[in-house]
Amino acid sequence: MAKIISVSLSEKLLQEIDQLKEETGFSGRSDVIRASTRMLIADTQDKKNLEGNINSILILIHNQKSEDKVTEIKHDFEDIIETQIHSHLKEDKCLELFILEGDAIRMNTLTKMFQTTRKIEYVKLITI
């Protein structure tokens, strides 16, 4: 039996869900949220299975005002950060690309640190 939960979303996120619903043919917001949750769970499971010494790329998008938080987090992971590229985008946004090499567990930890920081709008770890 399905459970009903209450979720608080910003107006902007709700609009993006509605747009996604229309563009992809989902029958309602709940279907979009269920599919998104399944994708996040599958991605998290894939990352859990990573082990050993690997290479990856970590992509972040954040507001310029969040630069201090990015710097604070990244300093604890300099052992796996080979290169960082920072670029200013429109609307006071920043793009960060981290080229990573090292322990998969450390990369997962770094990714989780950014994912759980509300100041980061987009986080994607791509393993090579």
pLDDT tens digits for range 81-102: 999 999 999 989 999 999 999 9
The encoded tokens of residue 74 equal 């990244």
pTM for the predicted model, two decimal places = 0.75
Residues 59 and 117 in one domain: yes
**Which parts of the chain fold into alpha helices (H)?**
11-24, 29-48, 67-74, 104-115
- Expressed as residue numbers, the domain containing 33 is 11-47
Show the tokens assigned to 115.
């994912």
> H/E element holding 54?
strand 53-63
pLDDT score recorded for residue 44: 80
Whether 41 and 68 map to the same domain: the answer is no
Place 40 in a pLDDT band, splitting at 50, 70 and 90.
Answer: confident
Residues 67, 112: one domain? yes
Region 54-69 average pLDDT: 95
